[in-house]
Structure 1
């Protein structure tokens, strides 16, 4: 269980910390509170009051200082975030941010993550927003709290606040007098809105920000300790397993209830429409009962799936809305060479290492759900709607999940746990999906088609760029009960909210569809589909993985057409000085331009600024190819990154390294297998991912730190550049330009043989 356990009594729903009641909400007085604007978020629209729109990060939506930081009279300091730890290390980094501006050692702070009963509502932890939004909020909230405490102490001592110093929750005067934060908080009311300006420390004085700090979540994970929601054990807890339909829209016709109820340990079968589950005393008893229940269940035919042979052709007619996201024209030299290219990405799955899991407990009319959802507040709202319960009677507490990222089954299994818990009040219910359920009922990342037409002039400059993509939102996050899979299976099913395109500059399927390069004539069209034939939603970087792959492959081809080194070609078309810095650093550290290519080896380069808003990442790779099999091995990767002010250098390196490995798996190996009857990728044998034996032999990550600059999101920044660099390296090694992912394997072998 997580550190929330110090705050949450599982049996009695205790809302108290050190005798103080927390209510995490925001209330803004005045007429300006009524005027709101909508800003983009990866989950849903986020409403920002006019009175708070100038505040930093998530303070815009959660302006009260004591929603973020609580100090008791005894001096206990608790810091809250509405974001969650997904294995990216953000819990550690956010603690560092708060500790720095509070002038405290991180070990002296209790740090709690997303919990609808305690934390501020920061929506989703997604899209590399955490440090940019929550980190910025905590940086400023902590600085303002420290400033208020120091000012209160100065007034009490009768001295100038500038003469006081603070360290480890103690304020010191030059004459030796001291006052603890606990004493000072009695002199000031922290239940106030943050202000647009903060007494931020000079970055030159930072001791915690910018310094490697061991991750808080690692020790228990590497020692086999309690780390995940899967590990939770509550008094009286029962185990449940669900039975899923064999295919979309299949309806449950019947099952052998009498036989299942005779099995050892079985306590109850829960059915509502086509939502079917069995509850048992022990986990293995639940697994055996689930297998028997599934075998005895009869289902209607359901609906057919798309033909994988024509799915990309059929995608174009599904795209019913055209959204032009770039349209700029200026005089340019005449074109002398033109490139036309088409790129394809297939459906991919999350493939989470641990099947989705949740624990729910209905006690005295209060429902508590422990979940690895990326958005506990949106999930809380959807569960309340599904169960017809008041929101205040539903509490969602984030607890880490094994292999949780993107929109996998976390929210759906939480809905299963909630439905079963309501059917068996008084007993905690633990639900874990089976492996085949995690695979076949995943929210797959959507298929995509992109097409580019680009021209260069006689001097080797790009004079025209026309780009179009066909795909969906890539984001069907939980915004109503109908977005929860079990809610759509009930006797009275809920209807999912309609799919809508995510707006630029964040974008969805069109994320990073606009090149950052300086181009005199550019047109980019997002052909949006509100429906997809498979269940799809968000996975890391959304459309950026494919769009950057297409853009960077095209940049390489244009450079070859112009007879110019590919790195030099990028620099010719790049005006952003920070982008130029990362491109130059990655090239230098890799040793570009490279020596003559060895047989069956190649190098590739790629660049992107994630969303054109966040971290700048440039990557150079070296690969080897086995022509007889099409096997591609990533031998070496060198990355350079500029993410603004770096909080934890190790954390940034971890995320770029992990992104390179995962993107290599997507780009080289992964594709969902299905036919018109059903999804066939039901285990690791039918959905191959990068094996440990194939991970890169060497990954170097070089950081450009910019103290005092805004935080820029990191986690998903390397997904697109890795794909582009791999495609370019395969071309360098084989002379074959691959534009359909996955790139490695039999398809590459056949091309080499031609």
Structure 2
């Protein structure tokens, strides 16, 4: 590892593996191209996923910011083909899908391609892997770059063979003439210039010619995971590695008064105790020894308490009372009907703070060697993290490298960036030795950035015909993006003797949005007003969580739509269809209704029976510009206990051109299950002193016994249409469908999440 080369967790190859060494030598030209624009010009500016100043705005996907073809596709003279993406595999299967896209356009077998993901010295800067942008941005870039590279290779082969390029075909890494003569890609690339900008509107294959896109390909990341192979950053064990553990303060703002480190340094295997201001860690030659030393170090540390946290019972009142930046998200039309309205409804919905609760606590490995720092990390954004670590260490950016290795748990801004900073800080103290830092469960749960609490106030008027005439919607929320904009966003950097100050929180502009993501209903409403009260002050540390504000906003909107349908004496599905003009929205709604066997539901006045059965429906288009999603659920509620059983779920998704049907289905199923856990059970707990939900007993999540008995996912493929991300499409609709089904079963409308929290259970038992 002395040269900073990456080692593979997915394949278990060590740095001195000769196979790996041959690949690196053969691929030495990969670092010779210039990725433009420069890293500084590609700093994240406006969205969670990263919106950059486009150097080539007419190009598709991330080619806008990195237009050079050999930034995406590299072919060596020996025929080795590498494909590069700035996006990271987070367990969503994107490595497989991106391989399919590249292999399709290059006419190669997927296993003949080396896919290189998120590495600050090798790949394009694509910001964060977030916001369901991977296929839309990176997949689109690779599709178009691969098509243009194949065309350049064909043109080169045509000159060599003395034939018209149009008469040539490609297959299995070779260009083939009608008479059977072949020119390998390795031979063709010797007279082809791939170091040129992509061209706009260059042709790609017609969908009718696809052999890989649209078909199921087994995920390339699964075998190692199911057989116990080295798959995650948590699994890395480079030679000579040391183990470190950190000691976090007991609460926000606590100050380290003193620490008697002598007895800890005398423990067997302890290499070093690291203290810098309020930052405290210990390094040992063995993981268990590091854990024992961490416990002793925690006992030896004396802390002064920080300022108190607010009363958790009053969080939503506090949220609505704090100074806010006012953002008019939508303000259009006025109610014009002079007829007496059928009804005016008003409702308030709330969501608590949520914990990411990654099954594997965050981990990173770092090494300082010859003045250069390399960090192996499961961050969702290696480039922003790279900049933050360089600032924290006061090192030139060119001396810092961040390499993504998959982590066992993610879907938002969890502790991955913090532990990467831990590893870098500690490795700086021990030059030449790889240092592995693994957070403990309580450290992950207590110190990660949480999903923000939100409060929503909705008001709408139905005209005499039972149509929505006026819609007023207000939301209060902290930021949903405290990702690494500067070193101060890294928790360890805040604890140093000379601490770094976090960059101030900023809202994410629409149409992507942060707290206001999906706050504009897709429904036809003549008079519409949406107001975002962006609250910069945060009682506890918050940042991005899967789908950002869409989870809460769609939950509130789709719950309110059901309430309006009931007031209009209308079937909930028919009511939605009457207010939608988009044919693709109609498509997913009708697909679910037909498969589910939806029948017109009469508005219930309440069911007093101890065992109540009901169905719920919901729909949304993620961000109003990505995947369309509809879902219906059957539930059974035991009124005397408040227990709930989810009998069946039927969902449909339209995400444009589908690359891997199994991957899309996996994402939708996973999104539904995760959302059910959030919606039914999850709530970050704290008291005036500290976060108190520090393990799985204090932060319960959905158990296998509560998983739906059946989940069916219908895929609506749109060959040739743009890729629309699916990773977060299910979050909001699944939450609302669940609430609507409970209301249908019991006549009780629970508007505060979690639905089976203390308040919800009390309402259901009443």
Q: Structures share a fold, TM > 0.5?
A: yes
Contact conserved, 2:11 with 2:230, CA < 8 A, in 1?
A: no
Q: 1:261 to 1:367 in 2, by over 3 A?
A: same
Tell me the equivalent position of 2:3. none
Aligned-pair distance for 1:331? 5.3
CA contact (8 A) 1:131 1:712 kept: yes
- Is 2:120 the partner of 1:116? yes
Structure 1 36/122 Cα, relative in aligned 2: closer, same or farther at 3 Å?
Answer: closer
Does the 8 Å contact 1:248/1:303 carry over to 2?
yes
Is residue 2:692 matched to residue 1:680?
yes
Alpha-carbon deviation of 1:629? 2.0
Cα distance between partner residues in 1 of 2:757 and 2:415: 29
Alignment partner of 1:483 is 2:489 = yes
Asked if 2 retains the 8 angstrom alpha-carbon contact of 1:42 and 1:126, the reply is yes
Matches of 1:309 and 1:90 in 2, distance apart? 41
Following superposition, the deviation at residue 752 of structure 1 comes to: 3.1
Q: Indicate the residue corresponding to 1:737 in structure 2.
A: 749
Q: What is the CA distance between 1:198 and its match in structure 2? A: 2.0
Provide the rounded CA distance (Å) in 2 between the counterparts of 1:129 and 1:724: 24
Q: How many residues end up aligned between the 2 structures?
A: 749
How much has 1:300 moved relative to structure 2? 1.1
**Following the alignment from structure 1 to structure 2, what is the Cα–Cα distance between the partners of residues 530 and 539?**
17
For 2:35, the equivalent position in structure 1 comes to 26
CA displacement 1:482-517 (0-9 Å, x = unmatched): 000000000110011111110000000000000001
Q: Choose from 284, 308, 313 the match for 2:288.
A: 284
Contact 1:730–1:737 (CA<8 Å) still a contact in 2? yes
Q: 1:462: Cα distance to partner?
A: 0.4
More deviation, 155-164/603-612: 155-164
Q: CA deviation at 1:316?
A: 1.4
Runs of 4+ in 1 over 3 A off after TM superposition: 1-17, 33-40, 594-599
TM-score in terms of structure 2 length: 0.95
Deviates more, 1:541-550 or 1:328-337: 328-337
Alpha carbons of 1:290 and 1:117: their partners in 2 closer, same or farther (altered >3 Å)?
same
Report the secondary structure of 2:312's partner residue: coil
* 8 Å CA contact retained: 2:36, 2:65: no
Structure 1 residues 277, 7: CA separation in 2 closer, same or farther (over 3 Å shift)? Answer: closer
Specify the alignment match of 2:763 in structure 1. 751
Residues 571 and 600 in structure 2, CA contact (< 8 A), matched pair in contact too:
no
The answer for unaligned runs of 5 or more in structure 2 is 1-7
Is the partner of 1:569 in helix, strand or coil? Answer: helix
C-alpha displacement of 1:199: 2.3
Secondary structure of the residue that 1:204 maps to in structure 2? Answer: helix
Partner of 1:343: 349
2:4 is aligned to none
Instruction: State the SS of the aligned residue for 2:190.
Output: helix
Task: Give the CA RMSD over aligned residues.
Answer: 2.1
The question of whether the paired residues in 1 share the 8 Å contact of 2:672 and 2:731 is answered with yes
Separation (CA, whole Å) in 2 of partners of 1:106 and 1:243:
45
**Matching of residue 435 in structure 1 with residue 418 in structure 2:** no
Q: 1:3 to 1:681 in 2, by over 3 A?
A: closer
Report the Cα distance in structure 1 between the residues aligned to 2:751 and 2:733, rounded to whole angstroms.
15
Tell whether 2:553 aligns with 1:547: yes
Of residues 414, 420, 423, the one that matches 1:414 is: 420
Change (3 A) 1:581 1:466: same
Alignment pair present for 1:654 and 2:666: yes
Using a 3 Å threshold, how does the CA distance of structure 1 residues 13 and 250 change in structure 2: closer, same or farther? Answer: farther
Q: 1:694 aligns with which of 676, 689, 706?
A: 706
Q: Tell me, yes or no, if structure 1 residue 425 matches structure 2 residue 434.
A: no
Aligned pair partner of 2:171 in 161, 167, 173: 167
Please state if 1:296 is matched with 2:300: yes
**Other-structure match for 2:544:** 538
Residue of structure 2 aligned with 1:267, choices 266, 271, 275: 271
Q: How does 1:95-134 map to 2 (within 5 A)?
A: 95-134=99-138
Q: Deviations over 1:270-309 (max 9, x none)?
A: 1111110000010000000001100111111112111111
Task: Give structure 1 stretches of 5+ with no counterpart.
Answer: none
Q: Please name the residue that 2:330 is paired with.
A: 326
* Partner residue in 1 for 2:90: 86
CA gap of 1:291–1:39, structure 2 versus 1, over 3 A, is closer
CA contact (8 A) 2:96 2:219 kept: yes
Q: 1:139: Cα distance to partner?
A: 0.4
Q: Is the 8 A contact 2:334 2:470 kept in 1?
A: no
**Distance between the aligned counterparts of 2:303 and 2:163, measured in 1?**
78
Is structure 2 residue 202 aligned with structure 1 residue 198? Answer: yes
2:143: which partner in 1? Answer: 139
Identify the residue that residue 630 of structure 1 maps to in structure 2: 642
Distance 2:764 2:482 in 1: 39
Is contact 1:550-1:724 (8 Å) kept? Answer: yes
How far apart are residue 319 of structure 1 and its match? 4.2
Give me the whole-angstrom Cα distance separating, in 1, the residues matched to 2:396 and 2:351: 42
Q: Answer yes or no: is the 8 Å Cα contact 1:121–1:377 preserved in 2.
A: yes
Give how far 1:101 is off. Answer: 0.5
**Higher deviation after alignment, 5-14 or 257-266:** 5-14
TM-score, with normalisation over the residues of structure 1? 0.96
- The question of whether the paired residues in 2 share the 8 Å contact of 1:238 and 1:427 is answered with yes
CA apart distance, 1:25: 4.0
Q: Per the alignment, do residues 593 and 705 of structure 1 end up closer, same or farther by CA in structure 2, a change over 3 Å counting?
A: same
Contact 2:44 2:485 in 1 (8 A): no
CA distance in 2, matches of 1:44, 1:140: 20
SS at 1:651 equivalent: helix
Alpha-carbon displacement from aligned partner over 1:556-589 (angstroms, at most 9, x marks no partner)? 0111111110000000000011011001101111
Cα distance in 2 between the residues matched to 1:17 and 1:107: 20
Q: Any conservation in 2 of the 1:632–1:668 contact (CA below 8 Å)? A: no
Distance (whole Å) between structure 2 residues aligned to residue 122 and residue 142 of structure 1: 17
Describe the SS at the equivalent of 1:138. Answer: helix
Quickly say closer, same or farther: Cα 1:10–1:508, change in 2 above 3 A.
farther
Query: Separation in 2 of the partners of 1:286 and 1:35?
Result: 41
- Distance in 1, matches of 2:422 and 2:669, equals 35
In 2, the alpha carbon distance for the partners of 1:35 and 1:208 equals 36
Distance 1:435 1:13, change over 3 A: farther
Query: Is 2:264 aligned against 1:255?
Result: no
Helix, strand or coil at the partner of 1:664 = helix
Residue in structure 2 matching 1:589, options 575, 587, 595: 595
Which stretch of the first structure deviates more once superposed, 715-724 or 319-328?
A: 319-328
Counterpart position of 1:222: 226
**Aligned CA distance change for structure 1 residues 344 and 36 (closer, same or farther; 3 Å):** closer
In structure 2, distance between residues paired with 1:151 and 1:62: 23
